[in-house]
């Protein structure tokens, strides 16, 4: 089964928040989707912006999730989608219903490492992955892929 890796950056941490950046790459690190997304219900997100650096001005001309939903569905259809903290990202992505399966790399890493759940930054240190650009979706997705490959 084909595997893809997905990461988002959002306006916050609650279920009411929205995606401001989405990346999906395949097993060869080919970028399938790497886009900013314009939220529909949020006009500012200062706390999240301090983490990922994506401002309302950055997304003002970006597509909304609804505008690219078909592209997202096509990228995940009939694949294994691997996400670091899958329950979190999945809540924003009804398009994942097209996936054959969704796997949580954070939980599987904890099982592999015989540890509690740890963040992606600490997981990359444990597997020896040099990570640049943390808290942007493309860099995080590549780091996620490296962790996943290490534990398989």
pLDDT tens across 95-127, in order?
999 999 999 999 999 999 999 999 999 999 999
Whether residue 134 is predicted with pLDDT greater than 80 in this model: the reply is no
pLDDT digits (tens, 9 = 90+) for 22-56: 999 999 999 999 999 999 999 999 999 999 999 99
Domain segments of the chain as ranges: 3-151
Q: DSSP alpha helices (H): ranges in 62-136?
A: 65-76, 86-90, 105-113, 120-127
CATH class of the domain comprising 3-151: alpha beta
Say how many C-beta atoms besides its own lie within 10 A of residue 74's C-beta: 14
The pTM (predicted TM-score) of the whole model is 0.96
133 pLDDT above the threshold of 90: no
- DSSP lists the bridge partners of residue 35 as 22
pLDDT at 135: 85
83 backbone dihedrals φ, ψ, rounded to 5°:
-135, 140
Confidence of residue 132 (pLDDT cuts 50, 70, 90): confident
């Amino acid at each position: 089964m084909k595997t893809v890796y997905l990461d988002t950056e959002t306006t916050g941490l609650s279920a009411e928040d929205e995606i401001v950046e989405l990346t999906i790459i395949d097993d060869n690190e080919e970028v399938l989707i790497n886009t900013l997304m314009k939220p529909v219900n949020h006009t500012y997100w200062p706390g999240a912006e301090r983490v990922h650096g994506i401002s309302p001005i950055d997304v003002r001309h970006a597509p909304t999730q609804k505008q690219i939903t078909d592209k997202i569905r096509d990228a995940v259809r009939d694949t294994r989608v691997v996400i670091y903290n899958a329950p979190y990202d999945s809540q924003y992505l009804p398009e994942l219903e097209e996936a054959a399966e969704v796997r949580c790399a954070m939980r599987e890493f904890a099982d592999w490492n015989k540890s509690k759940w740890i963040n992606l930054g600490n997981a990359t240190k444990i597997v020896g992955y040099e990570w640049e650009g943390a808290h942007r979706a493309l860099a995080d997705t590549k780091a996620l892929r490296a962790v996943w490959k290490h534990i398989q």
